[in-house]
């Protein structure tokens, strides 16, 4: 494998027919520090690990292994790559051998049979002729829709629940007919293994063969109304089926498959995407019918967990679409238990810019029945009265505690500690600390003395070093400047190289890389050096010096654009995406090429796989239109320098301001005759004034 991004592996991967998605998953699980550390003695050196290069003789360590990027690089001989390439280059393994070795270490099964090249080619051709799992599921969904049209009892059931044909069409509702092999009318080859792999068909146990000696096969879903489950891309990945009477189980879900995981997916999220932004929050329920019925009544921002407790992945996925979540539960004990699990899942994501609330309905109601009894407005008012996360957390900590006794207050303090510790650092966390201390009648400093280990520095979080006075934390997003500060001066950032249109690197920025053309708006940052302290409006004529492209001093290179600095941090620390608001997500994904498409791609990767190290993201980028730009940005990050979250936060604030200012300029021409434009103009002006006064 050669090249910093390991590009030569591309052809190798395809030649042995190991799916690219598996390589990506394998690299996401493998730890290159652990793999390299088995052959090279490594020592921590700043953000990375250092050691003597195993590929050439040296006396001082120049071999660096990055746990953040999951890459290694030798500054002496130039060798670099990921965990797979290290086993190939150092252990002498072939590509397939190194993949299988890594897969075995991490408990994965390589999707590649040990067969001859001819058999492999025939298998590849057969796979090409077969439908993928999602296309098989989509075909089944169309078959269920067709069956619904011919089933009077299924249609009557939906009508009895007040559903219209329009909402049934939106959600693709269907019906699985009676009989053991209803899907045989949809799939000519009922013995197709994909039907079992997709969870549509069940095979019997050994000894249950039919007269022809074939394994018993039958439909998983029979005589049930069907709710197709779609991922965020709109692909059908599974089903939920409900009986038409009181038989058990009332609901039946697809099993876990390569494309479906109950702990990660939310029913109705694909259909709710637009409504989430319109309503400003997501309403999380527990049933398919709740989602469909509430959408029918004007709450298309509703989603549901899939017969399982709310997980951290559910919450994380929701916060990629909205900054506010309302969990709806029944008011009985089961509903309270479910809410408690949702609280645990939501606490790590409850930052100061997000809202989490808990809605407890009367015991005799679920969301569907409540909205029919009280109407749309009545339900909306009830949602407004939902319990804030802070209040519910305190209630959960105090549950079962007699606060009029010292023992009860001590127990509450003990219960509150793990809950409070899950919160991210911020104003909310500190306010709750004060409220807990007040309720348990302990001074806030005494409470922290109880909660902090004896050898830990004073702070607000036992897992985060914090100054008790200022609360400045040693964040993983903080730039590693300690070593430079010890010398008495902080040096300038190392220069960045820019790829031109042909992918070559040059000291001068190319057309797509210049500050003026690569930025979302061709205007300087509001707080740029030398900029006016007055509010900046793009329609005001700027001076000639302000319009000039930034100059390069002799021997120095241009700094990276604002968008590239954000891109670098998010590619190396993709978990930071969840620290951004939905408005910032929309801003980044709407940027011009190459940045907008790359941010959109990164968002889709997070939805499908969660945060992954750069080594895994690099594999997923192959064949992407802007693959070269992304890899160039990673190559330009100096060793030992971590992403500067404070800088990125400032950049995003600048871009949001400039976006609002540009919209104001467009609205100004219409405001005199268009009341809606005038109202929007005033809204943006007030927002900019508020932001300005906060600084």
Helices (H) and strands (E) in the chain, counts: 29, 18
What was the pLDDT predicted at 92? 63
Nearest Cα neighbor of 401 from 386, 388, 416, 387 is: 416
**C-beta of residue 589 within 8 angstroms of C-beta of residue 599:** yes
Domain boundaries, the chain: 20-106, 125-204+215-253, 273-399, 562-634, 653-693
pLDDT digit string, tens, across residues 305-326: 987 889 988 998 888 888 899 9
Phi, then psi, of 691 in degrees rounded to 5 = -65, -40
Q: Which tokens sit at 632?
A: 């160039």
Residues 330-337: contacts with CB under 8 Å, at least 24 apart = 330/286, 330/360, 330/361, 330/363, 330/365, 330/366, 331/360, 331/361, 331/362, 331/363, 332/363, 335/360, 335/361, 336/360
**C-beta of residue 554 within 8 angstroms of C-beta of residue 483:** no
**C-beta of residue 145 within 8 angstroms of C-beta of residue 151:** no
d(CA 445, CA 433): 10
* Count of CB atoms situated within 10 Å of the CB of 445: 10
Domain 125-204+215-253 CATH assignment equals 3.40.309.10: no
Superfamily of domain 20-106: Zinc finger, CHC2-typedomain (3.90.580.10)
What was the pLDDT predicted at 110? 79
CA atoms in the 13 A half-sphere facing the CB of 461: 22
Using DSSP, state whether 265 is helix, strand or coil: coil
Topology given in CATH for the domain delimited by 273-399: Dna Topoisomerase Vi A Subunit; Chain: A, domain 2 (3.40.1360)
pLDDT digit string, tens, across residues 569-613: 888 888 888 888 878 888 898 888 899 889 988 888 887 777 888
Report the C-alpha dihedral over residues 488, 645, 576, 612, rounded to 10 degrees.
Answer: -30
Provide the phi-psi class of 268: left if phi over 0, else alpha when psi is between -120 and 50, else beta. left
The answer for residues whose C-beta is within 8 angstroms of residue 260's C-beta and 6 or more apart is 199, 229, 237, 238, 254
Residues 425-432: contacts with CB under 8 Å, at least 24 apart = 425/460, 425/461, 425/464, 425/466, 425/471, 425/473, 426/351, 426/352, 427/352, 428/350, 428/351, 428/352, 428/390, 429/460, 429/461, 430/460, 430/471, 431/390, 432/390, 432/393, 432/394
Using DSSP, state whether 682 is helix, strand or coil: helix
Angle between helices 645-668 and 675-694 (to 10 degrees): 150
**C-beta of residue 311 within 8 angstroms of C-beta of residue 347:** no
What was the pLDDT predicted at 646? 85
Query: Which helix or strand (DSSP H or E) is residue 324 part of?
Result: strand 324-330
What was the pLDDT predicted at 122? 55
DSSP letter string, 569-582: HHHH-GGGGGGS-H
Q: Which residues of the chain have pLDDT under 50?
A: 1-16, 113-115, 125-131, 454-557
- Classify strands 217-219 and 224-230 as parallel, antiparallel or unpaired: unpaired
- CA torsion sign for 337, 341, 342, 343 is positive
């Amino acid at each position: 494998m050669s090249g910093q991004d390991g590009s030569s592996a591309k052809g190798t991967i395809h030649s042995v027919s190991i799916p690219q998605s598996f390589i990506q998953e394998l690299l996401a699980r493998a730890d290159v520090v652990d793999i390299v550390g088995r052959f090279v003695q490594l020592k921590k050196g700043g953000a990375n690990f250092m050691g003597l290069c195993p590929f050439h003789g040296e006396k001082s360590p120049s071999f660096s292994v990055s746990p953040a990027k999951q890459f290694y690089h030798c500054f002496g001989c130039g060798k670099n790559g990921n965990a797979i390439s290290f086993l190939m280059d150092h252990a002498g393994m072939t590509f397939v051998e190194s993949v299988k070795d890594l897969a075995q270490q991490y408990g994965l099964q390589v999707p590649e049979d040990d067969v001859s090249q001819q058999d492999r080619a025939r298998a590849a051709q057969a796979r090409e002729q077969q439908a993928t799992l999602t296309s098989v599921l989509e075909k089944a969904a169309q078959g269920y829709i067709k069956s619904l049209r011919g089933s009077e009892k299924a249609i009557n059931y939906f009508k009895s629940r007040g559903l219209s044909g329009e909402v049934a069409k939106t959600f693709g509702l269907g019906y699985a007919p009676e009989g053991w092999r209803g899907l045989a009318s949809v799939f000519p080859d009922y013995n197709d293994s994909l039907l079992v792999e997709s969870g549509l068909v069940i095979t019997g146990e050994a000894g249950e063969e039919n007269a022809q000696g074939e394994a018993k096969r039958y439909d998983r879903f029979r005589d049930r109304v069907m709710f197709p489950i779609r991922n965020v891309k709109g692909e059908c990945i599974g089903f939920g089926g409900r009986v038409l009477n009181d038989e058990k189980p009332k609901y039946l879900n697809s099993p876990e498959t390569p494309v479906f995981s109950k702990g990660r997916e939310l029913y109705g999220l694909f259909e709710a995407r637009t409504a989430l932004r319109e309503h400003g929050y997501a309403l999380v329920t527990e049933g398919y019918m709740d989602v469909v019925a509430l959408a029918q009544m004007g709450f298309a921002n509703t989603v549901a967990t899939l017969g399982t407790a709310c997980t951290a992945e559910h919450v994380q996925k929701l916060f990629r679409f909205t900054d506010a979540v309302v969990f709806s539960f029944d008011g009985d004990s089961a509903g309270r238990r479910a809410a408690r699990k949702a609280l645990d899942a939501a606490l790590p994501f409850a930052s100061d810019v997000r809202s989490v609330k808990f809605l407890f309905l009367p015991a005799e109601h679920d969301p569907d029945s409540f909205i029919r009894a009280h109407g749309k407005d009545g339900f909306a008012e009830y949602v407004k009265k939902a319990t804030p996360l802070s209040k519910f957390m305190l209630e959960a900590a105090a549950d079962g505690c007699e606060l009029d006794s010292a023992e009860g207050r001590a127990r509450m303090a003990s219960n509150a500690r793990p809950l409070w510790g899950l919160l991210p650092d911020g104003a909310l966390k500190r306010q709750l600390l004060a409220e807990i201390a007040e309720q348990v009648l302990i001074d806030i400093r005494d409470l922290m003395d109880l909660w902090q280990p004896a050898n830990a520095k004073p702070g607000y979080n036992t897992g985060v070093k914090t100054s008790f006075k200022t609360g400045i934390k040693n964040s993983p997003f903080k730039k590693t400047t300690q070593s430079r500060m010890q010398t008495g001066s902080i040096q300038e950032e190392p220069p960045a190289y820019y790829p031109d249109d042909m992918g070559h690197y040059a000291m001068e920025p190319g057309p797509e890389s210049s500050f003026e053309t690569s930025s979302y708006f061709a205007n300087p940052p509001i707080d740029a050096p030398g900029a006016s302290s007055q509010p900046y409006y793009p329609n005001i004529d700027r001076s000639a010096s302000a319009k000039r492209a930034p100059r390069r001093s002799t021997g120095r290179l241009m700094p990276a654009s604002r968008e590239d600095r954000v891109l670098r941090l998010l590619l190396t620390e993709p978990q930071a995406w969840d620290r951004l608001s939905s408005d910032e997500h929309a801003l980044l994904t709407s940027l011009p090429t190459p940045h907008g498409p790359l941010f959109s791609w990164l968002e889709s990767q997070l939805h499908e796989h969660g945060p992954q190290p750069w080594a895994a993201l690099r594999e997923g980028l192959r064949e992407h239109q802007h693959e070269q730009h992304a890899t160039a940005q990673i190559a330009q990050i100096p060793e030992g320098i971590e992403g500067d979250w404070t800088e990125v936060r400032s950049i995003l604030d600048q871009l949001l301001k400039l976006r609002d200012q540009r919209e104001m300029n467009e609205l100004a021409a219409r405001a005199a005759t268009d009341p809606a434009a005038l109202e929007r103009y005033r809204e943006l002006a007030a927002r900019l004034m508020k932001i300005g006064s906060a600084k």
